């Protein structure tokens, strides 16, 4: 490192004495890439400043929510006004209804919605609802997809379809995950085999339409179509986890993109987070009225949350959604994101570096591979050492990407053409250094 990180080092030492690993979420610790994590002091627009005063072009965006950039005036005004009226009431507010209407207006598969405080909570609750609605216990998830840290989802694949998953975290009893089956993403034949073996017992299939925790891997149209067909055929629910993609890749979420290619396509339940809270702790799950009315207090499936629908968080989310619904927003965001990935690909090609990238709306991913991977085992073939070199090379040049090669990146409406050009130039310098 060539610049002074003394302040970050000092804070990290203090944090490690008080907080496990010095961080409150594991990926922030820089364990995958090495070095000292940056302690962020402030952010504005497309930029963040760390505790040592160093400025970075931000491609994390709080892991997706900051689609307008940091401190957008309309969002800031809404949050400040809401805070003056009160931080939390533990009672219903009009703004909860306004936000629910705004979300449902753009996502036709959702007739009713329940607000919660985190994506983990939303995913966990959607699975409980699916089990309650179907009277079945087994669930299917996919290797490399992340749906939060609920016990039944912290699972790695078994040795074959005859065996169910095994817990990937200490503290999760095997009995908790014995009904979780983990399959490979984009493997239609394996999905068909799983339903042939267990179809009558499957409550739901839960999947990310674009997997953002193995960087950026799309569900193929045939894979998504077959998942919908098999769930319908066997009476299971299709749960689409759009915590990351919802309102990030399109106004109607990733499901709207598949609906253009698969006639009549809709999930049974949708999980949302990140953008709908605008950076505040807020998430949701929803679906058809007949399923959602099985939730307490109307039905037997229990779910509750003291801070659900927080009045400041709903103000932040509502202001964000109203801004991104304006005409031309997603076209401009998608172009800026494509300019970034195209520029990075060109810089890599000029340096003779294997590189591929993909993007949708304001979400992107890249791999140090000759072609885009389709599942987690293929993602694992990327060059981790070179990625670490790229990460630190960019960080030293004032560009902040995710500190792990398995995480997607995010562009905001605040990123300028100059920001993109500076990022591409910085990456070009690092790519050239790969061969030295």
Q: How far is CA 391 from the centre of its chain?
A: 20
- What pLDDT score does 97 carry? 98
Q: Is the pLDDT of residue 121 over 80?
A: yes
Spell out the residues 6+ positions from residue 174 whose beta carbon is closer than 8 angstroms to its own: 166, 167
The neighbouring-strand residues paired with 217 are: 211
Same-domain check for residues 211 and 286: yes
Same-domain check for residues 291 and 427: no
Same-domain check for residues 153 and 290: yes
For residues 50-56, give the mean pLDDT. 96
CA angle centred on 284, ends 278 and 287, rounded to 5°: 135
Q: Is the pLDDT of residue 436 over 70?
A: no
- What pLDDT, in 10s, does the model give residues 264-321? 999 999 999 999 999 999 999 999 999 999 999 999 999 999 999 999 999 999 999 9
Is there a cis peptide before residue 374, judged by omega within 30 degrees of 0?
Answer: no
How far CA 257 is from CA of 57, 81, 325, in Å, comes to 29, 35, 16
Coil vs helix vs strand at 305: coil
Name the residue range of residue 242's domain: 73-324
How far CA 342 is from CA of 155, 285, 365, in Å, comes to 35, 34, 12
Same-domain check for residues 297 and 412: no
Total structural domains in the chain?
2
For residues 85-95, give the mean pLDDT. 96
What average pLDDT does the structure give for the chain?
94
Both structure tokens of 20 = 């496990």
Both structure tokens of 375 = 């599942």
Same-domain check for residues 58 and 153: no
Residue 384, Cβ density class (10 Å: 0-12 exposed, 13-18 middle, ≥19 buried): middle
- What pLDDT, in 10s, does the model give residues 134-156? 999 999 999 999 999 888 888 87
**Minimal CA–CA distance to 410: which of 348, 367, 375, 363?**
363
**Minimal CA–CA distance to 146: which of 137, 155, 138?**
155
> For the chain, give me the number of helices (H) and strands (E)?
14, 18
Same-domain check for residues 160 and 245: yes
Same-domain check for residues 310 and 162: yes
For residues 173-182, give the mean pLDDT. 88
DSSP state of 77: H
Q: Is the pLDDT of residue 110 over 60?
A: yes
Q: Is 23 left (phi over 0), alpha (psi -120 to 50) or beta?
A: beta
Both structure tokens of 59 = 């491609």
Same-domain check for residues 245 and 119: yes
Which of 296, 324, 352 delimits the end of a domain? 324
Query: Is 1 inside any structural domain?
Result: no
Helix (H) or strand (E) holding 204: strand 202-207
Same-domain check for residues 366 and 259: no
Task: Indicate which residues carry an active-site annotation.
Answer: 146, 241, 274
Both structure tokens of 303 = 């779910």
Q: Is the pLDDT of residue 378 over 60?
A: yes
The secondary structure of 166-191 as a DSSP string is EESSTT--HHHHTTEEEE-TT-HHHH
With beta carbons less than 8 A apart as the criterion, state whether 148 and 106 touch. Answer: no
Distance CA 126, CA 201 (A): 17
Query: Is 119 inside any structural domain?
Result: yes
Helix (H) or strand (E) holding 365: strand 363-367
Same-domain check for residues 96 and 28: no
Phi, psi (deg, nearest 5) at residue 212 = -105, 0
What is the greatest pairwise CA distance in the chain? 65
With beta carbons less than 8 A apart as the criterion, state whether 78 and 319 touch. Answer: yes
Distance CA 432, CA 427 (A): 9
């Amino acid at each position: 490192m060539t610049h002074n990180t003394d302040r970050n080092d000092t804070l990290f030492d203090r944090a490690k004495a008080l907080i496990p690993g010095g961080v409150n979420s594991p990926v922030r610790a820089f364990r995958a890439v090495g070095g000292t994590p940056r302690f962020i002091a402030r952010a504005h627009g497309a930029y963040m400043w760390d505790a040592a005063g160093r400025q970075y072009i931000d491609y994390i965006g709080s892991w997706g929510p900051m689609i307008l950039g940091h401190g957008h005036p309309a969002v800031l005004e809404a949050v400040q006004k809401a805070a003056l009226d009160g931080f939390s009431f533990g009672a219903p507010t009009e703004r909860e209804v306004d936000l629910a209407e705004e979300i449902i207006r753009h996502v036709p598969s959702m007739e009713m919605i329940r607000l919660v405080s985190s994506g983990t909570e939303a995913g966990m609750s959607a699975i409980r609802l699916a089990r309650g609605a179907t009277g079945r216990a087994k669930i299917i998830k996919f290797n490399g997809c992340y749906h939060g840290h609920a016990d039944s989802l912290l699972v790695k694949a078994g040795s074959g379809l005859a065996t169910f998953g095994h817990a990937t975290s200490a503290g999760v009893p095997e009995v908790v995950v014995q009904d979780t089956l983990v399959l490979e993403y984009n493997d239609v034949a394996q999905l068909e085999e799983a339903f042939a073996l267990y179809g009558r017992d499957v409550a739901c299939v839960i999947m990310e339409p674009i997997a953002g925790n193995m960087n950026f891997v799309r569900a193929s149209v045939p894979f998504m179509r077959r998942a919908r067909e098999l769930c319908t055929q066997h009476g299971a629910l299709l749960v689409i986890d759009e915590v990351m993609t919802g309102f990030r890749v399109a106004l109607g979420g990733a499901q709207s993109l598949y609906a253009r290619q698969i006639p009549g396509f809709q999930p049974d339940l949708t999980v949302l987070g990140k953008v709908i809270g605008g950076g505040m702790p807020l998430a949701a799950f929803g679906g058809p009225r007949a399923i959602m009315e099985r939730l307490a207090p109307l039905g037997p499936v229990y779910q509750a949350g003291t801070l659900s629908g927080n009045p400041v968080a709903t103000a932040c989310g509502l202001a964000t959604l109203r801004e991104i619904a304006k005409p031309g927003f997603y076209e401009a965001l998608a172009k800026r994101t494509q300019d970034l990935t195209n520029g990075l690909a060109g810089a890599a090609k000029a340096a003779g570096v294997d590189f591929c990238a993909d993007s949708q709306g304001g979400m992107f991913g890249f791999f140090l591979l000759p072609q885009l991977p389709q599942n987690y085992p293929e993602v694992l073939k990327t060059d981790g050492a070179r990625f670490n070199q790229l990460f630190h090379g960019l960080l030293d040049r004032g560009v902040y990407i995710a500190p792990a090669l398995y995480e997607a990146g995010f562009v905001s409406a605040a990123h300028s053409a100059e920001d993109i050009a500076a990022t591409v130039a910085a990456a070009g310098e690092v790519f050239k250094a790969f061969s030295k």
